[in-house]
Structure 1
Amino acid sequence: MASFHIRQFQERDYKQVVDVFSRGMEEHIPTGFRHLLTLPRTFLLLAGVPLAIFLVSGSRLLAVVCIFFLLLFLVFLASKPWKDYVSKCLHTDMADITKSYLNAHGSFWVAESGGQVVGIVGALPVKDPPLGRKQMQLFRLSVSSQHRGQGIAKALVRTVLQFARDRGYSDVVLETGLLQQGAVTLYYSMGFQKTGESFMDILTWLVDVSLIHFIYPLPSAQKHEL
């Protein structure tokens, strides 16, 4: 098993960080496409439109061509949310990681193995937490596909939990996509609790890809409340 260590982000890491993040998000596109194919509305689209074209035109060829273009459209629908999300992140918080995280009372870490960045995670204070709570939000957790199964993701999450605990935060919160099953399983296994679901926009509602909201009440905070 390859060794790794976790350290704070440095400017020289930027290109590798972006690569790990972008590749990690775009890996979910095939899963999104398969998910789309399981939706009843997709079945109605793939069956109903070609059938209507065949009944109107009497041409089987037109119906087959229609199915082909509908599948291309579904590939577009499956990929667009992930590509839009990556683009948004790279133009907001990840445009300047030092400014967005390290200079904003949060932090950003990389997992390094063999001189390469193989995992990333960030954390920022929640601006408007629930009354009486002081919350830290976990962002951008990603591990390169070649280095999964080594405990890197868990180590990165634990780094955020310890960072928040040391600074007196009561909870760590996060959001992750329903289709990111590896991440969902990881958070449950580490003791995170689901607090709800939501959709980013009308497109994610259309393709039924929700965000799951999680919370991890920090033990130190729980003790103070007893």
Structure 2
Amino acid sequence: MAPYCIRKYQEKDRKWVLGSFSHLVTEHIPATFCCVLKLPRTLVLLLGGPLALFLISGSWVLALMASASLLGALWFLAKYPWAQFEARCLRTDLSDITKSYFSESGSCFWVAESEGQLVGMVGALPSKKPTLQKVQLELLHLFVALEHRGQGIAKALVRTVLQFAHDQGYSEVVLTTSIVQCSALVIYQHFGFQKTGFSSEGFRLCALPVLHLTYRLPSAQVSQTLEQGESPRPISL
């Protein structure tokens, strides 16, 4: 395993960060498509629609063309919310990363570097809810290049955010993810993030649950556990 370091974002990293964000979004589309295909209403449509067309027209060619058209429409359905999410981020926090993450204290953006190459990234911004801005820090855009996964880089990036939240006086770290981001969910659960709700923000058409996770920072134990490379324990409720 090649050594790596985590440092703060610099403007020279912008091209890689935006390219990686686009890749991050794109890689979730096939898994979302599979989720759409498993929906009962989708199965009824895929099987019943072409069959009904065949019974009416007597043509397998039309039935196959209908199936292909339906699959194309479902692929668009799976891709659309991710495209919307990407466009929204590029209009907001990623439009000017330096301004968004470094103009004020309490926010930051990091990249992971290995052998002179960028291999990972993560961001952190105060909660958008006015009453929680000084309480909650939101973890955003966790990504590690495919060829460097399984080396502990993603965990190190999450650990960096938790340490930053502790140092800045936040009491919670929150994030939003989807059920198709399985490897990320495993990492968050490793650190003790707890599910605090779910919705279908932007993903209603493809019925993809969006999970809201929260990590409650212990008041005194987090520094020691992070320095030892252990996963911090959540506060007992």
TM-score by length of 1: 0.92
Alignment-derived partner of residue 21 in structure 2: 21
Q: Quote the Cα distance in structure 2 between the aligned partners of 1:132 and 1:178.
A: 26
1:119-198 mapped onto 2 (5 Å cutoff): 119-128=120-129, 134-198=135-199
- Greater relative contact order: 1 or 2 (C-alpha under 8 angstroms, separation 6 or more)? 1
Alignment-derived partner of residue 209 in structure 1: 208
The SS at the match of 2:80 is helix
CA deviation after TM superposition for structure 1 residue 77, in Å: 1.4
Alignment-derived partner of residue 72 in structure 2: 72
Residue type at the aligned position of 2:188: Y
Q: Quote the Cα distance in structure 2 between the aligned partners of 1:147 and 1:120.
A: 12
Identity %: 53
Structure 1: which 5+ residue stretches go unaligned?
A: none
Instruction: Kindly report the root-mean-square deviation, in angstroms, between the aligned alpha carbons of the 2 structures.
Output: 2.0
Instruction: Count the aligned residue pairs.
Output: 222
TM-score by length of 2: 0.88
Alignment-derived partner of residue 43 in structure 1: 43
CA deviation after TM superposition for structure 1 residue 27, in Å: 0.9
Relative distance call for 1:129 and 1:188 in structure 2 (3 A) is farther
Q: Quote the Cα distance in structure 2 between the aligned partners of 1:139 and 1:189.
A: 17
Relative distance call for 1:132 and 1:174 in structure 2 (3 A) is closer
Alignment-derived partner of residue 12 in structure 2: 12
Contact 1:20/1:118, CA 8 A, preserved across alignment? no
CA deviation after TM superposition for structure 1 residue 83, in Å: 2.2
Relative distance call for 1:192 and 1:129 in structure 2 (3 A) is farther
Structure 2: which 5+ residue stretches go unaligned?
A: 223-237
Alignment-derived partner of residue 228 in structure 2: none
Is the counterpart of residue 87 in structure 1 residue 82 in structure 2? no
CA offsets 1:119-153 (integer angstroms, 9 cap, x no match):
11111111436679711111111111111001111
CA offsets 1:69-90 (integer angstroms, 9 cap, x no match):
1111111112222222122211
Alignment-derived partner of residue 107 in structure 1: 108
Q: Quote the Cα distance in structure 2 between the aligned partners of 1:151 and 1:211.
A: 25
Contact 2:21/2:141, CA 8 A, preserved across alignment? yes
Relative distance call for 1:80 and 1:131 in structure 2 (3 A) is closer
Residue type at the aligned position of 1:205: R
The SS at the match of 2:143 is strand
Over 4 Å off, 4+ runs: 129-133
Residue type at the aligned position of 2:24: G
Contact 2:127/2:133, CA 8 A, preserved across alignment? no
The SS at the match of 2:214 is strand
